[in-house]
């Protein structure tokens, strides 16, 4: 019994010695490495501060780019096309992504309103730009084909559209519609009908396109007609 009672003080003594040893070790580590620890803390503060500053700069730039883009759209709505184009060109030059990319698409659209070939050429440049994401390259190809639909030989625009019309492509619905329209324009009802059938069979076809599809299928059923864009 006496032995059991004597163990508790010994255990407490060992615990206190162990804690004292640990405190001494921490003190020695601090004395030896306090400069490094303080330096690391300063670097952490600087890094966090730098990140916050970078975020602030990016947000400020984004807001400024958004304002410039809205100004360009306002000029376009006011039929000041040349001023709008100049504003979009400047924005695209100063911002390689984000609103700059949006400005390039809008500029191509503005050019296309004046001259379809010029607009299509601007979209071609976007489609060929390796810095543009594949999704947006495909959109540029689609819009270039749309601008050429009235004038280009169907064999020139169909291969690109057929590549975009596959089930996995995000732009397949519009690509199929343009392919069908190219068939209508050429008087090739069989070709047009095949693409319109694909539109009808796709469960994800947008409602607006389904409504137009009723007109297209009636045109196919009615035979060759002159179709204008």
pLDDT at 224: 56
pLDDT at 166: 96
Domain membership of residue 8 (yes or no) is no
pLDDT at 83: 80
Domain extent at residue 107: 13-114
Whole-prediction pTM? 0.66
pLDDT at 95: 73
Ranges of the chain whose pLDDT falls below 50:
1-7, 13, 46, 49-51, 53-58, 227-229
Domain membership of residue 47 (yes or no) is yes
Domain membership of residue 151 (yes or no) is no
Domain membership of residue 83 (yes or no) is yes
Give the span between the Cα atoms of 54 and 181, in whole angstroms: 49
Domain total in the chain:
1
Closest to 150 in 3D by CA, of 176, 124, 112: 112
User: With the C-alpha atoms ordered 9, 10, 12, 13, is the resulting torsion angle positive or negative?
Assistant: positive
């Amino acid at each position: 019994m006496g032995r059991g009672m004597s163990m508790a003080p010994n255990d407490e003594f060992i615990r206190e010695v162990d804690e004292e040893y640990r405190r001494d070790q921490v003190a020695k580590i601090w004395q030896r490495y306090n400069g490094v620890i303080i330096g690391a803390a300063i670097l952490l503060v600087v890094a966090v501060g730098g990140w916050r500053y970078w975020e602030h700069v990016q947000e400020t730039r984004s807001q400024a780019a958004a304002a410039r883009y809205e100004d360009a759209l306002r000029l376009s709505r006011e039929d000041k096309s040349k001023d709008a184009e100049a504003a979009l060109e400047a924005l695209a030059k100063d911002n390689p992504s984000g609103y700059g990319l949006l400005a390039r698409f809008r500029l191509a659209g503005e050019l296309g309103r004046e001259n379809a070939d010029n607009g299509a050429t601007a979209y071609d440049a976007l489609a060929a730009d390796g810095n543009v994401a594949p999704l947006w390259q495909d959109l540029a190809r689609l819009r270039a084909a749309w601008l050429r639909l009235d004038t280009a030989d169907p064999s020139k625009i169909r291969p690109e559209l057929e590549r975009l019309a596959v089930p996995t492509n995000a732009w397949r619905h519009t690509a199929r519609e343009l392919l069908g329209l190219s068939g209508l324009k050429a008087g090739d009802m069989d070709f047009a009908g095949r693409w319109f059938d694909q539109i009808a069979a796709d469960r994800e076809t947008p409602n607006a396109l389904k409504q137009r599809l009723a007109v297209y299928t009636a045109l196919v059923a009615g035979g060759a007609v002159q179709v204008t864009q």
